[in-house]
Amino acid sequence: MPLSLTSAAFQQGGNVPKKYTCDGDNVSPPFAWADAPSGTRSFLLVCDDPDAPAEIIFHHWAAFDIPPHWRGLKEGHAAESLTNGFRQAINDFGKPGYAGPCPPRGDKPHRYHFRLGALSEPSLPVASSATCLEVITLAAPCVLEFVELVGLYQRSTKHGQQRAKR
């Protein structure tokens, strides 16, 4: 069976709950995975937004050196959560750790790609100041298999009221 990634917080293509965004507690959602390929020595979990303004991919999170016997991450990892048994890169907000969805108000829903990679190396040789992009680039040759879970988020336009969906 192929590597799988799920979240108890949202389904594939579903809305990321406010709790896990800049409008809520800004902590990571819970994740579970299964069926890691043979030879997996660590995992990498990233979150990025390809719908960011200026046609860039905005990196919200890169958690890496996740032990190979783990089958998920509990919710609640934030920028301050740096002693978790794994390492976290500097996100595109300039902070270490997770920073949740935070698209500009008035934008259409953005797609947030949570990607799990099973890696052939137990640890990535990066500095503590490594960015998400640096970690992703360094991990690329080590990826045995990856899977993606996509969630949507759109910020409310005013006073906490979300625009009606058409």
Query: How many Å is the Cα radius of gyration of the chain?
Result: 15
Return d(Cα 108, Cα 118) in angstroms, integer.
32
Low-confidence ranges of the chain (pLDDT < 50): 159-166
pLDDT reported for residue 111: 98
Question: What's the CATH code of the domain at 131?
Answer: 3.90.280.10
Instruction: Give me the pLDDT at residue 128, please.
Output: 87
Structural domain including 44 reads: 4-153
Is residue 129 domain-resident?
yes
125 occurs within a structural domain? yes
Question: Is 162 contained in some domain?
Answer: no
Measured distance CA(13)–CA(112) in Å, rounded: 9
Domain count within the chain: 1
- What letters, b where the CB count within 10 A reaches 16 and e where it falls short, cover 117-152? bbbebeebebeeebbbbbbbebbeebebebbebbbb
Residue indicated by tokens 């336009």 = 157
Give the pLDDT score at 158: 66
Asked whether residue 73 is domain-assigned, the answer is yes
Q: How far is residue 128's CA from residue 87's CA, in Å, rounded to a whole number? A: 8
Question: Which of 16, 35, 24 is closest to 147 using CA atoms?
Answer: 35
51 inside domain: yes
